[in-house]
């Protein structure tokens, strides 16, 4: 018998607006877990979708003079486009207006009636259409003849409530109270994290009340004709409509034999993710009670993550400064760094998973995200990859070919399998921040190893063989990082895998088997994470919303090949800005030898150099610290503008300027001479 696929779900989202970073958080976490399981060789069924049967959706469409279904079609397409742009590898997208959902829901309602789980009654109360919630009389306040929510929370509507009194159909939820408590007592790991489990048990022990499952309105799934008083009634949007999507999408009660068989093979869900506000009442109480009434096996794990605030403020449509649209934000990262858009998306994904422990609340800071991009991605992982492959490619090193081992062990590569197991355990436990912390500890160790070993000095001394094993360990670490980061950052992981010269499919075993065969050839590398200009990142979220249609792409499939970032398109040539020979003659260029070098405190880009010009020594501040270490600069012959007026930077006087070249990807190379030239020689 074939192994059961790993079945993971996100909630389905109301389609009354474009997704913001709070929605994206659930998707990114689910995608990371799905990709991790695929790396481990498991078949995955990753389900997401949209909730479209809410009365408020129909009212918004009517206010715009539009057909509700056409309105839903457009917004559902927007959600899919955003998820595709964020590289969410979902396998199925279920819309609650689809026939494959609507027909099984009607069959479920009929079955619940036939099996005695429903009864007729009268429902009355104050109803908030925007919140889709009834409120007790004591929870309302009357002002000028209208009723409002008393002490509404920040995200609740301030609009007048509507009094609704109508015949309704009630699900006998109270009859499942003891069964739910017994289930959770026998399966303590089913509800996570522990705070949400305790909250749910407390909620159930307070006593469950039967819940209305129908409404009198003209938008939604009509009750089946076999249920009494079904005329003009539709199924309540939450129960059993929205919750049942997790079963209808894979094929529950489908008349198609193949689809029905798929349901049998895949049920139950292995992991269901949602935010904490819809956990206790809906997913941890109503949903399992519904499954028990249908004699279906319960999910193996229900997990609720916390909320994001934005710069300390709760995300709310009433506060535009808190709405960060993930596509607009990723575009901004791309703009201020020069990174390809998919890499900028990876930066957002990384920040969301690294910044806080999954399950607790966190604060989203645009500035903080870019700071992490610079420190962790540009200076950390990107710097390690760049330094390693540049050293490997240099003619005086190994010409891009992995050298044979000389038998030296630096203690890093031998530690990678154990650390991979630690990362694997964290991913499996949804401890994304813990997994990424471990990965970046390894990256930090590798970068420090380069500083400690100073391979450039050994090459300069003609002892290139002494760094063969260092390069081998660094390459192994880069491969290990490519694999272990790929669930969180799939584009970057695939790009690293490619430049390491790997053509086989990446698997989790690749993080355990990191040995490179002597003679293996790696590719040349461009900076994967060009450094971002933090000064250009606005802190207010209003800059990260857009009315443009989101970027679209084909949704990834389970067998998709991960693609490295596309190369930037060539720019149109700029109009030439000519100078005369007399202008050029004013510039005095001379060679100089760097005799001292150090970083400028609190300046990420600056090195303070002492440059020997033969007749004098000049102090020059150069913005090259992201590309050259102080040790690499010692002894370099550089070309400087010797008659540039001095200026003060960071409290130091700079007495000249180094010449360097850079390309659109941010690669910088100093202008040097091809032969040993005495310091102070004129450059003509």
Q: Average pLDDT of 318-347?
A: 92
Among the ranges given (94-98, 282-286, 411-415, 672-676), the one the predictor scored with the smallest mean pLDDT: 672-676
Among 365-379, 599-613, 669-683, where is mean pLDDT lowest? 669-683
pLDDT of residue 127: 84
pLDDT of 557 strictly over 80: no
The least confident of 111-115, 229-233, 569-573, 658-662 is: 569-573
Asked, as a colleague might, if the bond just before 369 is cis with ω within 30 of 0, I would say no
Q: Give tens-digit pLDDT for 114-155.
A: 999 999 999 888 888 777 777 878 889 999 999 999 988 766
More confident residue, 546 or 590: 590
Share of the chain above pLDDT 90, in %: 67
Q: How confident is the model at residue 313 (pLDDT cuts 50, 70, 90)?
A: confident
Count of all residues that appear for the chain in the document:
684
Q: What share of the chain is helix, strand, coil (3-state, %, to 5)?
A: 40, 20, 40
Quick one: average pLDDT of 266-271? 98
For residue 565, pLDDT over 50 is answered with no
- Strand arrangement, sheet containing 302-305: 92-95, 44-51, 6-14, 271-275, 302-305, 191-192
Q: What is the mean pLDDT of residues 280-308?
A: 97
pLDDT at 635: 82
Q: Domains plus CATH for the chain?
A: 361-544 (1.10.730.10), 581-670 (2.40.50.140)
Residue 567 has pLDDT above 60, yes or no: no
The mean per-residue pLDDT over the stretch 189-207 comes to 97
Judge contact between 57 and 19, C-beta under 8 A: no
- pLDDT band for position 582 (cuts 50, 70, 90): low
What are the backbone angles phi and psi of residue 613, rounded to the nearest 5°? -105, 20
pLDDT-based confidence at residue 545 (cuts at 50, 70, 90): low
Chain-centroid distance of CA 235 in Å reads 35
Q: Say what the pLDDT of residue 677 is.
A: 77
Question: What is the phi-psi region of residue 232: left when phi exceeds 0, alpha when psi lies from -120 to 50, beta otherwise?
Answer: left
Residue 491: is its pLDDT beyond 60?
yes
According to the model, what pLDDT value does residue 152 have?
A: 85
Q: Please name which of 678, 616, 628 lies closest in space to residue 658, comparing C-alpha atoms.
A: 628
213, 202, 156: which is closest to 180 by C-alpha? 202
Residue written as tokens 């190369």? 567
35-47 pLDDT, tens digit per residue, is 999 999 999 999 9
Q: How do residues 370-387 score in pLDDT, each as one tens digit?
A: 999 999 999 999 999 999
pLDDT at 607 over 60: yes
Q: Which residues in 52-198 belong to E strands, given as ranges?
A: 92-95, 118-128, 133-135, 140-143, 146-149, 162-171, 191-192
How many other CB atoms are found less than 10 A from the CB of residue 379? Answer: 18
274 beta partners: 304
Neighbours of 629 (CB within 10 A): 19
For the record, the structure tokens of 108 come out as 């479920």
* Axis-axis angle for helices 468-485, 416-428 (nearest 10): 10
Chain CA centroid to CA 368, Å: 15
Q: Is the pLDDT of residue 577 over 70?
A: no
- pLDDT the model gives residue 578: 54
Average pLDDT estimate for 358-378: 95
User: What are phi and psi for residue 618, nearest 5 degrees?
Assistant: -105, 145
Burial of 384 (0-12, 13-18, 19+ CB in 10 A): buried
* CB distance 345 to 566 below 8 Å: no
pLDDT on residue 555: 34
Q: What pLDDT shows up at residue 630? A: 85
Asked, as a colleague might, if the bond just before 240 is cis with ω within 30 of 0, I would say: yes
Q: Give the pLDDT mean for 607-636.
A: 86
Strands 233-235 and 302-305 turn out to be unpaired
- Residue 613: predicted pLDDT: 87
pTM of this prediction?
Answer: 0.79
pLDDT at 583: 66
* Confidence category of residue 539, pLDDT binned at 50, 70, 90: low
Predicted local confidence at residue 574, as pLDDT? 36
Cα–Cα distance between 640 and 620 in angstroms, integer? 9
Assign 542 a pLDDT band (cuts: 50, 70, 90): very low
Winning range, highest mean pLDDT, from 322-326, 372-376, 542-546, 589-593:
372-376
pLDDT at 554 over 60: no
Tokens 């991605």 correspond to what residue? Answer: 377
Q: Mean pLDDT score of the chain, rounded to an integer?
A: 89
């Amino acid at each position: 018998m074939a192994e059961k696929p790993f079945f993971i779900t996100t909630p389905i989202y109301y389609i009354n607006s474009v997704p913001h970073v709070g929605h994206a958080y659930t998707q990114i976490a689910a995608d990371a877990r799905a990709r991790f399981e695929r790396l481990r060789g498991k078949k995955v069924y990753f389900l997401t979708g949209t909730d479209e049967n809410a009365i408020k959706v129909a009212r918004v469409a009517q206010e715009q003079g539009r057909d509700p279904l056409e309105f839903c079609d457009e917004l559902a397409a927007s959600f899919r486009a955003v998820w595709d742009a964020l590289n969410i590898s979902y396998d199925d997208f279920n819309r609650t207006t689809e026939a494959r959902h609507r027909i099984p829901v009607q069959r479920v309602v009929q079955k619940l009636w036939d099996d005695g789980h429903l009864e007729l009654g009268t429902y009355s109360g104050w109803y908030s259409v925007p919140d889709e919630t009834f409120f007790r009389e004591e929870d309302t306040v009357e002002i000028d003849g209208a009723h409002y929510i008393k002490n509404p929370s920040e995200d609740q509507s301030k609009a007048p409530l509507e009094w609704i009194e109508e015949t309704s159909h009630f699900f006998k939820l109270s009859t499942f109270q003891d069964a739910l408590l017994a289930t959770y007592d026998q399966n303590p790991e089913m509800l996570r994290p522990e705070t949400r489990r305790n909250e749910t048990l407390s909620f159930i022990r307070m006593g469950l009340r039967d819940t209305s499952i129908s409404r009198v309105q003209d938008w939604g799934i009509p009750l089946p004709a076999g249920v009494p008083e079904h005329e003009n009634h539709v199924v309540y949007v939450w129960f059993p409509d929205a919750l049942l999507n997790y079963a209808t999408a894979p094929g529950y009660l489908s008349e198609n034999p193949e689809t029905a068989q798929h349901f049998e093979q895949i049920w139950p869900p292995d992991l269901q993710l949602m935010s904490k506000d819809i956990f206790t009442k809906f997913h941890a109480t109503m949903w399992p009670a519904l499954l028990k009434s249908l004699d279906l096996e319960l999910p193996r794990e229900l997990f609720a993550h916390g909320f994001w605030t934005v710069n300390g403020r709760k995300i709310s449509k009433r506060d535009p400064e808190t709405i960060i649209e993930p596509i607009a934000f990723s575009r901004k990262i791309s703009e201020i760094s020069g990174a390809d858009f998919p890499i900028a998306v990876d930066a957002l994904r990384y920040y969301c998973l690294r910044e806080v422990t999954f399950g607790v609340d966190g604060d989203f800071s645009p500035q903080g995200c870019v700071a992490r991009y610079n420190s962790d991605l540009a200076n950390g992982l990107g710097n390690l990859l760049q330094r390693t492959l540049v050293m490997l490619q240099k003619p005086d090193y190994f010409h891009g070919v992995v050298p044979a081992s000389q038998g030296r062990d630096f203690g890093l590569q031998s530690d990678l399998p154990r650390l991979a197991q630690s990362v694997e355990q964290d991913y499996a436990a949804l401890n994304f921040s813990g997994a990424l912390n471990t990965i970046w500890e390894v990256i930090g160790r590798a970068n420090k190893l380069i500083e400690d070993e100073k391979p450039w000095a050994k090459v300069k001394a003609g002892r290139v063989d002494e760094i063969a094993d260092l390069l081998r360990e660094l390459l192994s670490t880069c491969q290990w990082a490519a694999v272990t980061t790929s669930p969180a950052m799939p584009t970057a992981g695939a790009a690293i895998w490619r430049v390491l010269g790997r053509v086989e499919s990446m698997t989790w075993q690749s993080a355990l088997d990191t040995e490179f065969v002597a003679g293996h050839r790696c590719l040349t590398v461009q900076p994967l994470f060009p450094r971002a200009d933090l000064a250009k990142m606005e802190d207010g979220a209003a800059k990260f919303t857009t009315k443009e249609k989101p970027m679209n792409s084909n949704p990834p499939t389970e067998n998709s090949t991960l693609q490295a970032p596309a190369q930037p398109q060539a720019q149109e040539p700029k109009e030439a800005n000519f100078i005369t020979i007399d202008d050029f003659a004013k510039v005095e260029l001379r060679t100089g030898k760097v005799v001292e070098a150090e970083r400028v405190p609190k300046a990420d880009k600056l090195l303070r150099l002492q440059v020997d010009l033969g007749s004098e020594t000049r102090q020059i501040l150069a913005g090259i610290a992201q590309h050259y270490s102080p040790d690499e600069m010692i002894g370099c012959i550089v070309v400087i503008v010797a008659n540039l007026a001095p200026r003060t930077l960071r409290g130091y006087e700079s007495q000249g300027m180094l010449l360097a070249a850079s390309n659109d990807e941010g690669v910088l190379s100093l202008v040097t001479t091809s032969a040993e030239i005495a310091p102070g020689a004129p450059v003509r």
